[in-house]
A and B are shown apart, each in its own frame.
Chain A
Amino acid sequence: MDEKAEKKATRTVTVRSRQGLHARPASLIARLSRSFDAKVYLVRDRERVDATDVIHILALGIMPEQELRLEAVGAQAEEAADAIARLIAEELPKIED
């Protein structure tokens, strides 16, 4: 079994962006998710989507103050989960358009 592929990380974050996860935040999440050697997913309720796909992120329709779960699987799972959690919690609230 490939040990690298077994690395997993999860985080729970609350979306603080005043306008929710609209197009620009979704693009930034997708772009960052692509930069790691890991598969990254966003989970809301029972819906789990590929975090590199803007269309899938937008389809979740995440409103302000909603909670999201991040799941990362792969060699850089921890790094990916940390970076994306930080983006959502700290950077995205500064973006208004």
Chain B
Amino acid sequence: MKFADFIARESISASLRAVDKEGAIREMVQSLLDAGRIDAAQYESIVKAILKREELGSTGIGRGVAVPHTKHASVDQLVGTVAISADGVDFASLDGEMVHVFFLLISPMDRPGDHLRALENISRQLRNDTFCRFLKNAKNSAEIQQLLDEADNNQFGSY
């Protein structure tokens, strides 16, 4: 699965303003709402579901990256966004590092395989230090989009 298959291009943000976990999640879900990828009536329910998942254990996966996510009945295909925080957010990651790069994912209830494939793709690309560093330092959403496109074209040699 490629980034282009699930990242809503117009929701990407290189300047996440939130300074805490809930704020970061709200801001990213809002960006998917603004991009027309989720239903406004479902906003609060999606945010709460993602926060509930975080209570089970942080989705901070190391290297300054987190993958907050949930299943939600209101989406009929996997949808996600990317956000970068220059200052970082304390996400209670296993390695104790602040999170600068977020991949937020919302999956349909019945498609666990797609979710796993998206996590696999994100993680494979993150193993490449260059991709990781460029992503953290991206200055605008166009730069992030370009990095995702380059990753989709295997330009970071992660496969």
Chain A positions within 8 Å of B, measured between CB atoms, are 18-24, 26-28, 30-31, 53-61, 63, 97
Q: Does B112 contact A (CB under 8 A)?
A: yes
Q: Does B81 contact A (CB under 8 A)?
A: no
- CB pair B115–A55 under 8 Å, yes or no, is no
Q: Is the CB of A61 within 8 A of B62?
A: no
Contacting pair B117 A28 (CB below 8 A): no
Question: Chain B interface: which size bin?
Answer: 20 to 34
Establish whether residues B57 and A19, one from each chain, have CB atoms under 8 Å apart when the complex forms: no
Smallest CB gap from B132: residue in A = A55
Q: Would A20 and B62 be within 8 Å (CB), given that A59-B127, A60-B120, A97-B53 are in contact?
A: no
Give residues in B with beta carbon < 8 Å to A.
Answer: 53, 56-59, 61-63, 65, 67, 69, 71, 94, 112-113, 115-117, 119-120, 122-124, 126-127
Of A18, A20, A55, A60, most buried by chain B (CB within 10 Å of CB) is: A55
List the A side residues contacting B53 at CB < 8 Å: 97
Bound-state CA distance A63–B117 (Å) is 9
In the bound complex, residues from chain A placing their C-beta under 8 Å from that of B120 are 58-61
25 A-B residue pairs with CB within 8 Å: A18-B112, A19-B112, A19-B115, A20-B112, A20-B113, A20-B116, A21-B116, A22-B112, A22-B115, A23-B59, A23-B69, A23-B119, A24-B56, A27-B58, A27-B61, A55-B123, A55-B127, A57-B123, A58-B119, A58-B122, A59-B124, A59-B127, A61-B116, A61-B120, A63-B116
* Number of A-B residue pairs with CB-CB distance less than 8 Å in the complex they form: 63
**A-side contacts of B122, CB under 8 Å:** 58
Q: A22-B115, A22-B116, A54-B61 are in contact. List 13 more A-B contacts (CB 8 A).
A: A19-B112, A22-B112, A27-B57, A55-B62, A55-B126, A55-B127, A56-B127, A57-B123, A58-B122, A59-B127, A60-B120, A61-B120, A97-B56
